[in-house]
A = this chain, B = another copy of it.
Amino acid sequence: MASAANACSPSFSAANSSVSKPKALSDFYLRFRNINALSLRSKRVGLPVLSFSRIRSPRISASSPQVMDQSVGEASSKAPTIVEVDLGNRSYPIYIGSGLLDQPELLQRHVHGKRVLVVTNNTVAPLYLDKVVDALTRGNPNVSVDSVILPDGEKYKNMETLMKVFDKAIESRLDRRCTFVALGGGVIGDMCGFAAAAFLRGVNFIQIPTTVMAQVDSSVGGKTGINHPLGKNLIGAFYQPQCVLIDTDTLNTLPDRELASGLAEVIKYGLIRDAGFFEWQEKNMPKLMARDPSAMAYAIKRSCENKAEVVSLDEKESGLRATLNLGHTFGHAIETGFGYGQWLHGEAVAAGTVMAVDMSYRLGWIDDSIVKRVHNILEQAKLPTAPPETMTVEMFKSVMAVDKKVADGLLRLILLKGPLGNCVFTGDYDRKALDDTLCAFCKS
């Protein structure tokens, strides 16, 4: 994901005409009606279904307007809202709030040792690098900060770019007690985190996410890594940061398209485990699109709470955590097949979510009201609801075959099942439903 800077909003409709006029939609609705949902359940193979209904955290507020306003009030004041990621001796706080980069003590309490390497990109550096260096060093003369500025974009999330981080760290003679700071969007967070995991077999790191995507999803939970030409995030590590610092002010410079991309992950939390949050989003999407600070702070906080809870229960993705990848298997195929960086991650996830929802409906696992609500909310967020027209069934299949959720040759998917807010992670589905979904969304 690229990050911040000029507020130009390149439309993805150039790449995919179906976004602005969802003609494909009526197409596949039509096909739905010709399939007997029961017959689809006949061919079952493989691993057991892991079924997940929403687990309501005691910390997660109900979505009534009163409660919402209260938590928003907290999050937009100078005192940060804190969401804890509970992982035993690797637990860490997520700080959320406005103006947090002006509170040096928040960052400094998590820097061990005297040396810091800030990893950022050429879009974010002009905007926030000085501010972060100031936050790290103000009143703290013993700490010295180096920085490495990478090119911006998903297409640079590769080994060649990663090596630039190692080169800088080694040239700067950083040692095991140093701290890496990721300043940027999801690409920077993933690369900096993996570099921190591998440099000298592991050094401390801190996440300062500057995009909605990174703030609500990728900076939390310790998944780090890089892409391989044949697939996304295939090389990496589970590696937890010391803290995540979300200064919501950094969203002021975020392009509209990046904003929408991040909202795809916000919508995901509602669909897989938090119906109340989804309903709140249905009412408040215009506010989120208008960057209303209170609404945005609430969406970030509730997303982080959902993510923190899932990660605490299943750090290494043996089951539950995989549900956070709703739409991602289809989405990764789009990103890889279409070329990294053509679509933003959230755009691909949005189209992938529609495909997963389509397949869930074909399997008879959800009713059509959910299908419609998903389309509506994604359209409100100006996100795509179908893959690029150049994607073929074969492109999907070849990339999905190397997905990390394949086990012993069987592709497991996250699919919705039951009332809104419930999903399953399973390889136990009729292959025909998958084929039909792919055919419905691809011209060839």
Tell yes or no: A177 within 8 A of B by CB.
Answer: yes
Tell yes or no: A7 within 8 A of B by CB.
Answer: no
Q: A114 — nearest CB in chain B belongs to which residue?
A: B408
Is the Cβ of A166 less than 8 Å from the Cβ of B235? yes
Tell yes or no: A268 within 8 A of B by CB.
Answer: no
Is the Cβ of B237 less than 8 Å from the Cβ of A237? yes
Q: A160 — nearest CB in chain B belongs to which residue?
A: B159
Q: A113 — nearest CB in chain B belongs to which residue?
A: B408
Q: How far is the CB of A247 from chain B (nearest CB, A)?
A: 28
Tell yes or no: A43 within 8 A of B by CB.
Answer: no
Those 9 A-B pairs whose CB atoms lie nearest each other, nearest first: A175-B406, A200-B404, A170-B230, A201-B236, A198-B235, A177-B407, A114-B408, A173-B401, A173-B402
Q: How far is the CB of A50 from chain B (nearest CB, A)?
A: 15
With known contacts A159-B163, A406-B175, A170–B236 Cβ distance under 8 A: no
Tell yes or no: A287 within 8 A of B by CB.
Answer: no
Contacts of A52 in B (CB 8 A): none
Is the Cβ of B407 less than 8 Å from the Cβ of A176? yes
- How many Å lie between the Cα of A231 and that of B114 in the bound state? 21
Q: How far is the CB of A168 from chain B (nearest CB, A)?
A: 11
Q: A200 — nearest CB in chain B belongs to which residue?
A: B404
Tell yes or no: A199 within 8 A of B by CB.
Answer: yes
Q: A184-237: which residues lie under 8 A (CB-CB) from chain B?
A: 194, 197-202, 223-225, 228, 230-231, 233-237
Q: A410 — nearest CB in chain B belongs to which residue?
A: B175
Is the Cβ of B176 less than 8 Å from the Cβ of A228? no
Contacts of A407 in B (CB 8 A): 113, 175-177
Contacts of A163 in B (CB 8 A): 159
Tell yes or no: A58 within 8 A of B by CB.
Answer: no
Q: A318 — nearest CB in chain B belongs to which residue?
A: B176
Contact pick for A409, options B114, B200, B202, B230, CB 8 Å: B114
Contacts of A202 in B (CB 8 A): 237-238, 316
- How many Å lie between the Cα of A201 and that of B199 in the bound state? 16
Q: How far is the CB of A318 from chain B (nearest CB, A)?
A: 10
Is the Cβ of B234 less than 8 Å from the Cβ of A175? no
Tell yes or no: A130 within 8 A of B by CB.
Answer: no
